Structure formats: structure tokens, C-alpha cells
Structure 1
Amino acid sequence: MLEEGWQVTYAAPWSGYDLDRPPAIPGLTTVDLPRSCGRRRHAALRAARRLLKEQGAAHDVVLLHDPELLLATPGLDLPPVVWDVHEDTAAAIEVKGWIPGPLRRPATAIVRGVERVAEHRVRLLLADHHYRSRFRGSHTVVPNVTTVPEQPHPAAQPVDGVLRVVYLGSVTLERGAAEMVEIARRLPEGLRLEVIGPAHGPAQGLLARARDEGLLDWHGFLPGDRAVARLDGALAGLCLLHDMPNFRPSMATKVVEYLGRGIPAVVTPLPVQQDLVERSGAGVVVPFGAVDEVVAVLTSWAADPGPVRDLGRRGHRYVAEHHNWQRLQADFLAALEGIAGGGR
């Protein structure tokens, strides 16, 4: 957006993640908002609504990534509002530990209702082709992909004699936290698991204990550019998602990021990520919960890293051609320009 001359107000919970706001950049204004966490969400929603009420009308378009923020918009005098749909929100309720079990079914129904209303009140951009089935109308799809370096670091580059296996993204039990801790426990000498991302629910204590035992390295939340840079030179990237409804139709962005940075992926057999790994020929698919198989794959790759680097190069070529943000960013900007140009 900035490169194309847009003026951007970027509102996010910087301090909530212990981050400094970005330095002054021409065209960019940053606003610090409270972070919503678990059941503590009302203050963040009130602050977002206050910001939209005070500053929204001075803009040509409002872009929302979090569906909860749709609740901050009713009754306000706003320019066109765009919801950038990045997950199946209703299906995700099943794995939100902060929502009590008896309330999950009614919460799912409420979210589906909000989606139906939102389709008539705001514009939608879909980050995955599979999301089309959730909505009645036809909406622009701009896949959630990654920026791909032209010359990635080769995979399987040891650091102080140790090869790293990486996981990037939010960590929950449903995303394989318990399996990763057990894998870390069983990895042979010279292999080490590195987890990059915040943990939620029981996974937080699980990872903290594993880190304190010295089983793995856990960095917690890192800004996107720093997080993906830590993938460079790793032996492999893990994506051990469980078979959950909200995971089945979606592309796990972390797998695209692994391959785009030139490292092969080890994934569970969810349809979309399995298809990516098989089409690219840049990794392996293991059964759900198959700790022994994962350890065996990683051990064999560490013993003969030459073919692993070939897998990494193959994955990089595939993602550079099919899942490259540089190729899709024009579609994203064109969609927003059309919406902004259409007026209120």
C-alpha cells in the first residue's frame, strides 16, 4: 500500500505484545490498541470502536482482519468496510479453550449469523478459495501466501554443530503442542526443535516446562519479519495439526512459508497441506499423532542432508511460482482500490 502511495493508519496491539511501534515512515500512522486475550476482550473492542468513530470517516476504506471487530462497526458513519476473511471463525470456536464447552454450540450459531449479516453490510475479501462455500455471494479471493526470497538459504545448515527443526505460528494442543514436546524429547544429539510463536491454553504451560527442562527453544511471539528469518537454514518445518473442522479446508500458511524459505515440511494429512506437499514434492506426510514417524524422518534427514537441500530447492521453486505474494499483491490492491473508489 505504501509503495503505491496509499496513506495507511495501522491500528494494532503493539504494547500488548511488548513491541515498539514501527518508526516513522512517510504515509504511515500507527495506533496502539489494547490486546484482547481469552475472555478479556471488551476493552479492546471498545477502544477499536472509539478509534473507528473518531477517525474512520477520514479514510476511504476500513480493512478488518479480526471478525470480532465487525462488532465495533454498527451505527458508525464509516467509509466502505472490508472484512479480510482469514479463517473459518465458527469452526475455530471448537478449539478456543477460553469458551466454556456448553457455550460453544450456541457461539458457533451466533458466529454463522454474524457472517450472514456481515455479507450484506460489509465487503469481503477471502484469503482461501475454500471459504467461498460459507457465503452466498461471489467475493474476491486473494490467497494468504508469503513473500518469497529469490535466493533462499539452503536447508540443513548446522549452527554450532546442531541442526534445527522449526515450528512457526500459534501453539495449541490442537496444533500439535504435545506431539512437538515429545518429538523434542526423542530427537537424537545434534538435532533440536525451535518453536516460534505464542502459546495458548494448556500448551503454554507445556512449552514452558519443556523449555525449562532444556528440551527445546521457545521464542514466543516475534514480529513477522523476524519470525520467518529464523526459518533460514533449518532442517525441516513442522505442521502437525490435528484433524479439526476449522483446519480441514484451509491452507496452513506456515507450510507455504517453510517451502518458500527453502526448507522441506513434515505435515499431517489434512487435505490442503497434504496436496501442497505432494504437488511440490518438498516434504513428507505423516499420520496424525505419529511421533515415532516424525522422529524417524528427521533422524534420517539429519544423517543425509544432501537430498534434504534438494527438497528445499524444489519447494522454493513451487511456492515462488504458485504462492508468491509478489505475484498476488496487485490483485489485493486492485480489489481495495475498486472498493474505495465505489464510495460509501
Structure 2
Amino acid sequence: MKIVHFTSVHHVYDTRITFKECSTLQNYGHDVRLIAAHDKNELINGIQVIGVGKGSSRRLTRMLFTTIRVFRECLRQDADIYHYHDPELMPIGLLLKILGKRVIYDVHEDVPRDIFSKGWIPDWLKKPVSLSVEAIERFVSKRMDAIIPATPFIAERFRTYNPHTYEIQNFPLLDELISHEGSKIKEHNNIAYIGSISEVRGIKDTIECLEQLNRIMPVNLLLGGNFSPPELLDQVRQLSGWKFVDYRGRVDREQFREIMSQSKLGLVVLHPEPNFIMSQPNKLFEYMSAGVPVLASDFPLWKQIVEGNQCGLCIPPMKPHLMANAIRYVLEHPEEAQRMGENGRQAAVTHYNWEPEGHKLNELYEQLMKPKFDNRNKRNRKQLTADSG
């Protein structure tokens, strides 16, 4: 098959899109292309990336002009299946369906709930925007060939719109982040957070926690990712606890592995936002796959994963003193911390890894193309019958 994934928002190094889905389909023998808001055409991990130019930092400009360039490139590629990753591309997905294409919508986030965490949307406008987005998702999704939600919770909603909903969970590549040298080089009290950095993801709480901890023992935060909004970086740099932060900026997968090898604990202490409570944050499973203990918010689903697998601790979010107490406990009990890390790794090996998800993804593609292959075979049989006659 010729397969085109396309995005106007995600980076070309997005782990789910490029290194999991596209690479997996390529490994199954398909011709896979990725159209993205990138400044050039290049091969990334063996995937042909087709850049349509970097999108504008202004949302409305990007949603208009970048999506038009993406659509034009989609038509030029003339693929067997199109697979898109952003809510703003739903009109493009609908247009491709009208033109007779097979189209998949990949739902990374619970977007209607995510609206309530967007600081740039006025509070009075969030509910009507959320309801509008949900209505548009319902309308478009009914017309897609398949929906691929990233979590069971999102899948439950989309199955009411489209029976061809197949959850492909965003579990980690099993051996990508594990370091066999970790026990030798974890000499310092480093804790880690890798991912999108925002106030609702607990960055200010974490820095306040660091200040409290360092009155008792030296602890540093290895921090990787982009700040949202960008000006938040200037704000947190003014906090007194920032001096205990080693900020690495956006990190690639090799740098992620290096940070994990140097860290004794991974943080995922998000605020109780509607989009977070029932989410399955990728970083949680990545910490587990790297054999690093986890400190997570005590949302029921997260407690079930973390405490159920005895791979870390859960605390009420937005309470820096409780975070400090939990971190101190892990650092002062190295043998128990090691068991937590080993338990998390074993859970990743047994349950939470990408290999079965990738297999499900390829099976879905094969099912979508089966009618086309069957029709082609029927035509070939008719032609052979006519020729023999």
C-alpha cells in the first residue's frame, strides 16, 4: 500500500506518528510518507518526510494556510490510505472522503475536554467551544473509514459515532529508553520530567518542591521539552528554585534515554484537568519502560497503573510539600526504589509496550484495503475468463 500520514501541528520527530506508526507500517512493507509543517523534504528513521513549510505561530493563520498546503500535497501523493493526526485537519479528511479516498482519523487527545485547559481561550467561551468541537468530531468521525483513539476512554466516546473505532494505545517502544548502565551512573539525586511543560502540568509546583527539598538534601531536576506558552519559561526562571533545574530544551530520543539513565525518579504530577484525569500520559509508560520509579498524580486510573504494578508513588497534585516528601522517601530508600523501577520495567515488558499495538495497526490497514484487493482480483478473474473465451 501507499500510505500518507499528515499533520499540520505535530513535529516531524513526534514519537507516536513517526517512530511508532509510520515506522511500523514501513517495516510491514508499505510505502509510507509523512506530510508535515516542516521546512524541507528528508528521510527520518527511513520515512520520507514531505515538508510544506513551517507553519505560522499564529493559530488561525496556521489553520488556514498550512492546512491548504497539506491538502494540496495529499492530492499530489494519490495514496491508498490517508491518516491524519490533528482536529484542525478534520475538514481535509472530509474533503478526501468526498473525493473517494480511504481516510483514518488518529485521535491523540480528548479535545473537547482539553479545551478547558487552554489558557488562551476565555473562560466564558470554553464550554461553547468544547460543545462545538465535539459536534464537529461527531459529524466528521461518522464519515471516516476508521478512527484510532490513543486511549480506551477516548475510544469509548468515538465508538458511539463510528463502529470502526480501534484503540491503538501510545505505549513505548520497549528497548528504546532502557539503559544497562543506569545503576552505575546514578550517583546524584536527579529527578526527571520530559514532555510538554506548562503550569497545569505542574512545573511551578515542581520548582517550589525543589526549593523545599534542597533545604534538606541536594536534588536536581533534569527537564526536557517545550514550554507552553513560551513566555512561561521567563516566568519560572524568576523562581528561586530554578537554580536546581537543568533545562535541556526539546530533547530527541537519545537524549531522553540519557536523562533516564541519570535519573532516580520520573515525574508526571499533572493538575486535575478534565483532559488529564482519564488520560494515559505517554511519559508515565516511558518512565516505566526505562526502569525508573514514577511519581504520579493520584487520579484513579493512574493509581491503578502505578500502585497496581508497585512501580512508584501517587500523591494529590498541586501540593509541593507532599511532592517533596514523596521524592525524599524514594531517594532515601534506594533498595525499594530499585524494586519499583524493576516492577515498572516488567509491567512494560508484559503489558505496556508498542509491539502488539503496531500489529493491530497493520491489521487495520489490511482490513481497510481488503475490499480494494478483492475487487481487483474479481476484475482480474473476469479478464482471464474473457481472454480464455
Measured against the shorter chain, the TM-score band is 0.7 to 0.9
Which residue identity lines up with residue 196 of structure 1 in the other structure?
A: G
**Equivalent in 179, 202, 219 of residue 176 of structure 1:** 202
Residue number in structure 1 paired with 2:225: 197
Does structure 1 retain, via aligned residues, the 8 Å contact 2:174–2:353?
A: yes
SS in 2 for 1:181: helix
Counterpart contact for 2:117–2:200, Cα < 8 Å: yes
Change (3 A) 1:66 1:326: same
1:130 aligns with 2:159: no
Q: Is the 8 A contact 1:127 1:144 kept in 2?
A: yes
What RMSD in Å do the two structures reach over aligned CA positions?
2.7
Percent identity over paired residues:
23
If asked which structure has higher relative contact order (CA below 8 Å, sep 6+), I would say: 1
Query: 1:216: how far off?
Result: 0.5
1:164 corresponding residue in structure 2: 190
Contact 2:41 2:48 in 1 (8 A): no
Q: CA deviation at 1:34?
A: 2.6
Contact 1:263–1:311, Cα closer than 8 Å, also in 2: yes
What is the alpha-carbon distance in structure 1 between the residues aligned to residue 284 and residue 350 of structure 2?
A: 15
Determine whether 1:10 maps to 2:29: no
SS state at 1:284 partner: strand
Does 1:70 find its partner at 2:90?
A: yes
Structure 1 window deviating more from structure 2 (270-279 vs 212-221): it is 212-221
8 Å Cα contact 1:155-1:312 kept in structure 2: no
* Unaligned 5+ runs, structure 2: 1-24, 373-389
1:79 aligns with 2:101: yes
Identify which range, 91-100 or 73-82, moves more after superposition.
73-82
Pick aligned residue for 2:366 from 331, 337, 340: 337
- Name the CA distance, whole Å, in 1 between partners of 2:285 and 2:180: 16
Q: SS of the residue aligned with 2:260?
A: coil
AA paired with 1:324?
A: N
Q: How far off its partner does 1:24 sit?
A: 6.6
Structure 1 residues 34-113: aligned runs within 5 Å: 34-35=54-55, 37=57, 39-56=58-75, 58-76=78-96, 77=99, 79-113=101-135
Q: Identify if the C-alpha distance between structure 1 residues 276 and 268 changes in structure 2 by more than 3 Å, giving closer, same or farther.
A: same
Q: Which moved more, 1:167-176 or 1:299-308?
A: 299-308
Instruction: Determine helix, strand or coil for the equivalent of 2:246.
Output: strand
Letter of the structure 2 residue corresponding to residue 53 of structure 1: R
4+ long deviations beyond 6 Å: none
**Structure (1 or 2) with the greater helix fraction:** 2
Is the 1:264–1:315 Cα contact (8 Å) retained in structure 2? yes
**Which amino acid in structure 1 is aligned with residue 208 of structure 2?**
E
- Rg (Cα) greater in structure: 2
> Structure 1 regions of 5+ residues with no counterpart?
none
Equivalent of 1:240 in 246, 269, 282: 269
Moved more, 198-207 or 121-130: 198-207
TM-score by length of 1: 0.88
Give yes or no for the alignment of 1:206 onto 2:235: yes
Counterparts of 2:74 and 2:35, CA distance in 1: 11
**1:149 matched to which residue of 2?**
175
